[in-house]
Amino acid sequence: MSSIWEYANPKKFIATTDKVLPWITILAVSALVTGLIWGFWFTPEDVRQGATVKIIYLHVPSAMMAINAWVMMLIASLIWIVRRHHVSALAARAAAPVGMAMTLIALITGAIWGQPMWGTWWVWDPRLTSFLILFLFYLGYIALWAAIENDDTAADLTSMLCLVGSVFAVLSRYAVNFWNQGLHQGASLSLDKEENVSNVFYLPLLVCLAGFVMLFLALVLLRTRTEIRARRLRVLLARERMQ
Amino acid sequence: MKALLIRDLKLAFRSGGGFGLGLAFFLIVVILVPFGVGPRSDLHAIIAPGVLWLGALLACLLSLDRIFALDWEDGTLDLLATSPLPLESVANVKALAHWVTTGLPLVLVAPVLGLLLNLPPAGYLPLVISLLIGTPALSVIGTFGAALTVGLKRGGLLLSLLVLPLYMPTLIFGAEVARRGADGLNTTTAMLMLGGITCGAIALLPFASAAVLRANLR
């Protein structure tokens, strides 16, 4: 029986992702194309919101992945601290820009949605503010990775920052709740409710959610492979210079 | 531990130690605000608690890179790491020294600057208490940030980028206490949350700072 830790071996990781990555990419593209076309052209307009409701197919999945990406980075950082697998540290590094892009998409689509609905691009609502704070955390994390030359030190420092940052991100989430009441609606997608959004919107939204998960996976795997190969290349070049 | 604390305090108070720079910065920020928002004193009364908290936070931030930078350059930090004193205690002592030389003076000066900004009379006590409870958290969090960036040549800007998001909860609750106090509202909840953040930061963050220092010293 093979264990998950086998993928800590970069060779094994590359070999496996060689086989898996094309399928994930195909799944991501087909789910996104289906979900978005279905959502944009084959769902009715909302009674009150009109056509603007269709932003939901970008806004909700990207917001979900913005948080999930940070959670994935947290897990990868923990694995690096405990077991010191380089692939894990590189995966955390690879996920950060993707997560930051997701946060930015969620913020921008939210602003575009908020303008006609609330009459403003931006309010200091707890949810909006927490996302802005999350964006700052991504920014700091990426900047720290970029600033340190030694790979192992950089992995150590960024994983500690990720741990401490997670605690403070959660703290900030509750602090801004205390600080201001919001315009944003509460959670409308939960697993424990009978019906969340009307099924007409819900089904294409689910397809889009699946598409974004696959897209995130594909991008992170691709970027991790790039990081591994870049590091190999650097070692080869250094060895060549020695001779 | 005591010897290290006394040494750090002495170094800070001597000329060139940077003591007083934070205070002067705080003073200048507060003086600049009325020029930015205009001379209406009713407006100043509204924004005073927030401005004073923000000024104190920025003054704290300004002196963070001094916590470890000099000790890193002359090798003192290596000696401290090999001494019997655990690195966690070193981080705590450093944070304490930073608070005594930066946070405490800010707390003492804040009411005077409150006068300049026309702070309502009810606001003075909550402001001082919230700063007294909140600034230790700023020092401890800042020590973690300083430990993260200690090995970098020009880490100052990166340090601010890393530390400012971590300051967010402290600022929110601290400014909330000061603002509610100035409006004559109940401050208990925000005060308790602020105290909780400070206690949690003092209890847990030194471990993170020490781990980061070890990685940097390797």
Count of structural domains, chain A? 1
Q: In tens digits, what is the pLDDT along chain A, a chain of 243 residues?
A: 467 787 788 888 888 888 999 999 999 999 999 999 998 888 877 767 777 788 888 999 999 999 999 999 999 999 999 988 889 999 999 999 999 999 999 999 999 988 888 888 888 888 888 899 999 999 999 999 999 888 889 999 999 999 999 999 999 888 888 887 666 776 666 655 555 566 777 888 889 999 999 999 999 999 999 999 999 999 999 999 988
- The tokens for B166 are 């971590």
Q: CA–CA separation, A48 vs A57, rounded Å? A: 17
Q: How close is the nearest chain B Cα to the Cα of A129, in Å? A: 11
* Domain contains A80: yes
Name the residue with higher pLDDT: A123 or B60: B60
* Domain contains A8: no
Q: How close is the nearest chain B Cα to the Cα of A132, in Å? A: 10
Please write down the HEC assignment for all residues of B34-59.
HHHHCCCHHHHHHHHHHHHHHHHHHH
The interface predicted TM-score of the complex, written ipTM, equals 0.87
Count of structural domains, chain B? 1
Average pLDDT over residues B110-135: 90
* Domain contains A228: yes
Chain A residues in contact with B212 (beta carbon < 8 A): 156-157, 160
Q: CA–CA separation, A69 vs A49, rounded Å? A: 30
* Domain contains A65: yes
Q: How close is the nearest chain B Cα to the Cα of A68, in Å? A: 19
Amino acid at A199: N
Could B168 and A175 be called an inter-chain contact, meaning their C-beta atoms sit closer than 8 Å? yes
Q: CA–CA separation, A81 vs A161, rounded Å? A: 12
Can you say how many angstroms the Cα of residue B100 is from the centroid of all Cα atoms in its chain? Answer: 10
Q: Which domain holds residue A60?
A: 54-181+216-242
Residue A50, classed as helix, strand or coil, is strand
For an interface test with A, the pick among B53, B148, B157 (most A C-beta atoms closer than 10 Å) comes out as: B148
- In degrees to the nearest 10, what's the CA dihedral of B20, B22, B23, B28? 130
pLDDT band at B20 (very low <50, low <70, confident <90, very high): confident
- The tokens for A162 are 């990720």
Q: Which domain holds residue B131?
A: 2-217
Contact B50, B175 (CB under 8 A): yes
Q: A46 has which bridge partners?
A: A50
* Domain contains A113: yes
